[in-house]
Amino acid sequence: MNKVLARWNELPEDDAADEILPCCGSKAWARDLARRRPLRNEQDLLSASGEVWWSLQEWDWLQAFRSHPRIGESKVPQAAKPQSAAWSAQEQSRAADAGHSTRAALAKGNRRYEQRFGRTFIVCATGKSADEILEILRRRLKNDESRELREAAEQQRQIAEIRLKKWLQA
């Protein structure tokens, strides 16, 4: 068994939830995942994470979304844990290195998204260029509220999965 997972399985429930909170940002997700312990391996952890995520209420999803900085910006929300902020910077590194015009377009798109949907644009940025992210943002601005909420939730699920894998390797 993975050493990180074995240790986590033995923690008190509140400590276990607090430890994985940077992977997602939803307290309900972290709490419910901690309640599913013991988990035997990475696949069990990732499966449980997805099951818990899709069982949550919209409010819980929105809480997770609030832990993310805007794409292309380095300012971290107060809700973000330090590890979450570090992972966000790493995940968005290609967007942060974009040229001035692309960064400006991302900033404008972020504002339009927030005006339209009332929340931060969430995308699994790992491995994506700033131009790819900008195209995704422009496409998703055409979604209706219901479709966009589900798409943002799926992006958050993917982010959590990547972060859980990183956490297991720590």
Domain boundaries, the chain: 3-62, 66-169
**What does the block give as tokens for 77?**
């929300």
Under a CB-based contact definition with an 8 Å cutoff, are residues 119 and 149 in contact? no
**pLDDT > 80? residue 92:** no
Active site amino acids: 68
At 110 the pLDDT is: 95
At 72 the pLDDT is: 74
**CA atoms of 147 and 5, how far apart (whole Å):** 34
At 82 the pLDDT is: 74
Specify the CATH class of 66-169 in words: mainly alpha
Rg of the chain over all Cα atoms, to the nearest angstrom: 16
Cis peptide before 38 (omega within 30 of 0): yes
At 98 the pLDDT is: 80
pTM for the complete prediction?
A: 0.91
- Which residues, 6+ apart, have CB-to-CB distance to 76 below 8 Å? 69, 85, 88
